[in-house]
């Protein structure tokens, strides 16, 4: 009886910590697995085709990664837009 | 050129010379117009094609964030409206602009045949149709989204509360883990939406700038030529400026419509998340 109680207490204390620890580690893993399962990378590749003329210097994969972290480089987007306009007007 | 044709003694020959000059100018303008029309059509097809690949991914990501009701309501409406709008603009609106321009050009050839009003009627119809469709699109998508996002938010909150309290020992942790997964999906969805909007801007910006520049050039030409050129030529240049303005309105409205649609998809599931 004592053993059962001890095992129960052990599980109650250990399992939540294990789950919490794995949860903290795997936020990036969750996102990567979701990206793979939803095939977002192929969407990004597809998106590259549409904007080859305008965003020549911008890699859509990098843009997507920076969008995930919330650090989109607005300046480079605006610069490439201006460059495309200049190229067309000349 | 006007002086040249007026300088001819024979009135019939003078008139024919004038017509030849007019047709030459019209041919030059129409070549430019047809090229721009092709550019507009291609851009609209690209916008629709891209939206057709963006929306399914966004909706799948919406489902992974728990916005099941919103996704089920929005996907058919959004996909239908986007495809319908693309086909409607290419199949109805642009031909209407073409007819209106042709009528405008023809009515300026002779003083006897006047079909200016019909041309104006088509142009006004185009603007009205665009305005109404833009309002309907934004209205339908936002109302559907507002209603369904509340349902999704409350359903998810109830489910999380049930999991946390009814499952013993690991219930709370399970609820937190679900929240983490949903949060990750939400980040992915927002990132996809933002990239989508940037690409939409990239597709639409060049034709929009091109049309804006052409519109300005035609109006400027009309203004500069007024003291020296024939009145009909001035009116023709003015008419072409108006046509490019209508095409610019079409491009702007369809790109704004798609950008608003994407933003609403992002916002709808985000507001569902607020309930947690």
Sequence spans of domains, chain A: 39-89
Contact B202 A81 (CB under 8 A): yes
CA A76 – CA B76 distance, rounded (Å): 36
The owner of tokens 């507001």 is B271
Mean pLDDT computed over A38-57 = 80
Task: Report the residue of A27, A32, A52, A54 to disrupt the B interface, i.e. the one with the largest count of B CBs within 10 Å.
Answer: A54
- Our CA-based measurement puts residue A54 at a distance from the nearest CA of chain B, in whole angstroms, of 6
Tell me how close the Cα of B117 comes to any Cα of chain A, in angstroms: 35
pLDDT digits (tens, 9 = 90+) for B114-138: 788 888 898 899 989 988 988 888 8
Average pLDDT over residues B73-94: 87
Mean pLDDT over B242-248 rounds to 92
ipTM score of the complex?
0.72
What's the pLDDT tens digit per position in A28-41? 777 777 777 777 88
Q: Which residues contact B108 (CB under 8 A, 6 or more apart)?
A: B22, B232, B235, B236, B239
pLDDT at position A34: 77
Under DSSP, the state recorded for B227 is T
Domain boundaries, chain B: 38-273
Across the interface, which of A20, A50, A89 has its CB nearest the CB of B50? A50
The whole-angstrom separation of Cα B208 and Cα B203 is 10
Looking at residue A25, what is its pLDDT?
52
Phi, psi of A56 (to 5 degrees): -65, -40
A78 touches chain B (CB under 8 A): no
Report residue B198 as tokens: 């940037």
Burial class, B56, CB count within 10 angstroms (exposed 0-12 / middle 13-18 / buried 19+): middle
């Amino acid at each position: 009886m004592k053993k059962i109680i001890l095992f129960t207490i052990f599980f109650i204390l250990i399992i939540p910590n294990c789950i919490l620890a794995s949860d903290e580690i795997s936020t990036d893993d969750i996102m990567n697995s979701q990206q793979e399962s939803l095939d977002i990378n192929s969407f990004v590749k597809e998106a590259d085709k549409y904007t080859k003329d305008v965003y020549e210097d911008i890699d859509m994969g990098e843009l997507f990664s920076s969008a995930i972290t919330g650090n989109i480089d607005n300046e480079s987007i605006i610069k490439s837009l201006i460059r495309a306009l200049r190229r067309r007007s000349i | 050129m006007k002086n040249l044709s007026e300088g001819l003694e024979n009135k019939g020959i003078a008139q024919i010379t004038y017509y030849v000059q007019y047709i030459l100018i019209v041919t030059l303008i129409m070549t430019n117009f047809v090229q721009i029309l092709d550019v507009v059509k291609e851009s609209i097809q690209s916008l629709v094609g891209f939206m057709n690949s963006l929306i399914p991914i966004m909706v799948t990501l919406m489902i992974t964030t728990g916005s099941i009701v919103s996704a089920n309501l929005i996907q058919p409406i959004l996909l239908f409206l986007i495809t319908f709008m693309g086909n409607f603009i290419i199949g109805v609106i642009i031909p209407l602009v073409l007819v209106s321009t042709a009528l405008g050009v023809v009515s300026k050839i002779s003083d006897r045949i006047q079909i200016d009003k019909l041309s104006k009627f088509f142009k006004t119809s185009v603007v009205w149709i665009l305005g109404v469709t833009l309002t309907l699109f934004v209205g339908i998508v936002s109302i559907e989204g507002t209603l369904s996002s509340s349902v999704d938010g409350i359903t998810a909150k109830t489910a999380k509360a049930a999991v946390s309290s009814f499952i013993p020992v690991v219930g709370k942790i399970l609820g937190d883990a679900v929240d983490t997964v949903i949060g990750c999906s939400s980040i992915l969805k927002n990132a996809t939406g933002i990239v989508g909007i940037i690409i939409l801007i990239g597709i639409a910006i060049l034709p929009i700038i091109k049309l804006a520049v052409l519109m300005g050039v035609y109006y400027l030409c009309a203004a500069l030529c007024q003291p020296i050129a024939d009145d009909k030529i001035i009116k023709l240049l003015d008419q072409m400026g108006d046509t490019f303005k209508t095409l610019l309105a079409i491009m702007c409205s369809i790109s704004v419509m798609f950008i608003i649609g994407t933003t609403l998809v992002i916002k709808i599931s985000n507001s569902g998340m607020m309930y947690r």
